[in-house]
Amino acid sequence: MMRERGLSIAYPQRTFATADHIVPTDTHARPFADDQAEAMMAALEKNVSDFGIEFYGLGSDRQGIVHVIGPQLGLTQPGMTLACGDSHTSTHGAFGTLAFGIGTTQVRDVLSTQTLSMDRLNVRRINVNGSLPLGVHAKDVILTIIRPSGVGGGKGYAYEYGGAVLDRMNMEERMTVCNMSIEGGALVGYVTPIRPPSTT
């Protein structure tokens, strides 16, 4: 899509790619048994080579699901804006990142311009206070948040999560809440980063 339009990557150093959802779980032997997955992998390998993008391929110890390796490798940072061609990119919001899941055309636009054209989002602050009863977990929290307004209730919104319950959640729990923001129709979901206490 970029070649046809004569476009280049605006900032290759701000971009990385990994082989994730299309990789078979039984073997990494090439070619993949699934012809479509093999074609997608071959295209990805060619594109990262041609455009100079850092790539965590099958032989890399950094390869994995993007929403796991981004945080693990320190690529996901509080306050940054992140865009990825996966609907659950909002998972990165657990780290205070404004993370957008985008479609193929938008991926092209972000790669070539480092911008994302969209209407300004409304922000819905969602505070979860009190304490969770035994057996109630992060997924229960987000499903309870979504239930009253349904799957379209967050359309046009960014969900900003806070409150005592979120403050006490570990990062994996926050990732669960932010990941499922999309199921409620929100474009993004994030937890405002908490500053660590001063040591001076």
Per-residue pLDDT of the chain (200 residues; tens, 9 = 90+): 788 899 999 999 999 999 998 888 888 888 998 999 999 999 999 999 999 999 999 989 999 999 999 999 999 999 999 999 998 999 999 999 999 999 989 999 999 999 999 999 999 999 999 999 999 999 999 999 999 999 999 999 999 999 999 999 999 999 999 999 999 999 999 998 866 545 55
Query: In 3D, which of 19, 107, 94 has the Cα closest to residue 56?
Result: 19
CA 112 – CA 8 distance, rounded (Å): 6
Q: Give SS3 for 52.
A: coil
Locate 119 and state its tokens. 């209407």
Give 67's DSSP letter. Answer: H
Q: What is the SS3 assignment for 105-138?
A: HHHHHHHHHCCCCCCCCEEEEEECCCCCCCCCCH
Question: Are 45 and 86 a contacting pair, CB within 8 Å?
Answer: no
| Helices assigned H by DSSP within 31-163 | 35-51, 66-72, 104-113, 138-146
Q: Which residues are CB-neighbours of 74 under 8 A, at least 6 positions away?
A: none
On whether the pTM is more than 0.75, the answer is yes
**Residue ranges of domains in the chain:** 1-64, 77-200
From the options 3.30.499.10, 3.40.50.300, 3.30.365.10, 3.40.50.360, give the CATH code of 77-200.
3.30.499.10
Locate 161 and state its tokens. 């999560």
Question: Are 161 and 191 a contacting pair, CB within 8 Å?
Answer: yes
Helical packing angle, 171-179 and 138-146, nearest 10°? 30
CA 4 – CA 181 distance, rounded (Å): 35
Question: What is the helix (H) or strand (E) element at residue 186, kind and residue range?
Answer: none
